[in-house]
Structures are given as C-alpha cells and as structure tokens.
C-alpha cells in the first residue's frame, strides 16, 4: 500500500503542477492556480501519516518506509525548485514570459550555481535522514530498523557526491573556451 501511495503522490504532484500552471497561465486565474499549487504539500503529509500508521500497526520497517521518507525529503528539498523550473518554461511557452534563465557555464558563477544545487540536494537528504531517524525511534528497539538505517547511509552518499561536485567546480572552475573569449565584444 505504501509503494502505491508513493506512486500516487508522484502522479499527484505532476497533476497538481499541471493544473496549477494551467489555471495560472491558460485560464488566467493566477490566484486559483497558486491555491492548487499550495495543495501539493498535502500529498506528503498524507504519505507521512499513512507511513507512520503502517509502522504503528506493527509493520516491519522495510524498503517501502525508507522510500517514503526519501520521497518526502526530496520533495521538501527539490519540490520548490522543480515548480519554479517548470513555471518559468510554461510562462515562456504559454504566457509570453521571458525565456528561462540558463545556468552559468563557466567560472565561479558556475561554481556558485553548483553550490545552490548541492544545497537543495543536501536539504533533501537531511530531511530524509531526519524522517528515517524519527521512524527508527518510533519503531524502537523491538523492530529491525536496518533497512531504515541503510537509507540513511545512502543519503550520506547523496550529500557527499553533491559536495564533491560543487567542490570540484570551485577548485577546478570550468573555463570559457579560448575561441569564445572576446568573441562577443
């Protein structure tokens, strides 16, 4: 049931996103569109409550509970930026908005962009880790929490990889090709 709910939450995210942006830009109802977009966090609340109830009813902590925590964490960390990314493209395509801003390609501007991206992923991973730890405490010493702890370790990998990527762009900033330097002047 938890896995089905995770899939439904993901589908619901995109349905609410499409409905909210459709109302905002196609139906010209920006407030109603914003209200629909603000309903999206309710999906995660439902998933959190159902997962907690499943554990409370004696379900053995497993893969599905870990995935639920990770899904909620990633929605917290990446959901807003995903909505902004899609919103900019829909505004440009359907409402005459400006073209979406592309991330910088070179130098410290690119490094700063990578650090902002890493921060979102780290927030996602830390949120998932906190939810997983809450589930470990909730289950207590009586249950096998190994699968939840395994997901916490995976989230540490997510944090480490993002720190390496952002750090790499900082220590070794990508330089603009020499044939392009001064070409726009």
The answer to the question of residue 90 being in a domain is: yes
**pLDDT digit string (tens) for 40-92?**
999 999 999 999 888 888 888 888 999 999 999 999 999 999 999 999 999 99
The answer to the question of residue 167 being in a domain is: yes
C-alpha–C-alpha distance, residues 175 and 100, integer Å:
23
**pLDDT digit string (tens) for 148-184?**
999 999 999 999 999 999 999 999 998 988 886 655 5
Spatial contact of 148 and 105, defined as CB atoms under 8 Å apart: no
Per-residue pLDDT, 105: 94
Spatial contact of 131 and 144, defined as CB atoms under 8 Å apart: no
Instruction: Tell me which residue range forms the domain holding 113.
Output: 2-171
The answer to the question of residue 47 being in a domain is: yes
The answer to the question of residue 179 being in a domain is: no
Whether the CA torsion 45, 46, 52, 56 is positive or negative: it is positive
Please give the share of the chain, as a percent, with pLDDT higher than 90. 78
Per-residue pLDDT, 86: 95
Q: Is residue 2 pLDDT above 80, yes or no?
A: yes
Q: Is residue 21 pLDDT above 90, yes or no?
A: yes
Query: Chain-wide mean pLDDT for the chain?
Result: 92
The answer to the question of residue 144 being in a domain is: yes
Element (H, E) at 28: none
Q: Is residue 139 pLDDT above 90, yes or no?
A: no
The two three-digit tokens of residue 85, written as one number: 């990314």
The answer to the question of residue 132 being in a domain is: yes
C-alpha–C-alpha distance, residues 148 and 124, integer Å:
16
The answer to the question of residue 50 being in a domain is: yes
Per-residue pLDDT, 138: 87
> What is the pTM for the complete model shown?
0.88
Question: Average pLDDT for residues 13-17, to the nearest whole number?
Answer: 95
The answer to the question of residue 95 being in a domain is: yes
- Domains in the chain, number: 1
**Residue found under tokens 């995976």:** 154
For 79-93, letters b (16+ CB in 10 Å) and e give beeebeebbeebbee
Per-residue pLDDT, 182: 59
């Amino acid at each position: 049931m938890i896995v089905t709910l995770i899939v439904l939450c993901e589908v619901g995210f995109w349905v609410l996103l499409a409905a909210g942006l459709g109302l905002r830009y196609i139906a010209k109802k920006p407030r109603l569109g914003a209200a629909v977009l603000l309903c999206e966090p309710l999906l995660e609340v439902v998933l959190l409550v159902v997962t907690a109830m499943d554990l409370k009813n004696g379900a053995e902590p497993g893969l599905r509970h870990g995935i639920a925590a990770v899904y909620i964490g990633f929605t917290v960390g990446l959901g807003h930026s995903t909505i902004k990314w899609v919103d900019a493209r829909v505004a440009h395509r359907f409402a005459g908005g400006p073209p979406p801003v592309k991330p910088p390609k070179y130098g410290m501007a690119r490094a700063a962009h990578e650090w902002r991206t890493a921060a979102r992923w780290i927030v996602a991973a830390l949120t998932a880790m906190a939810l997983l730890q809450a589930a470990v405490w909730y289950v207590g010493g009586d249950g096998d929490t190994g699968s939840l702890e395994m997901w916490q370790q995976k989230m540490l990998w997510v944090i480490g990889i993002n720190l390496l990527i952002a750090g790499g762009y900082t220590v070794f900033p990508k330089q603009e090709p020499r044939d392009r330097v001064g070409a726009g002047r």
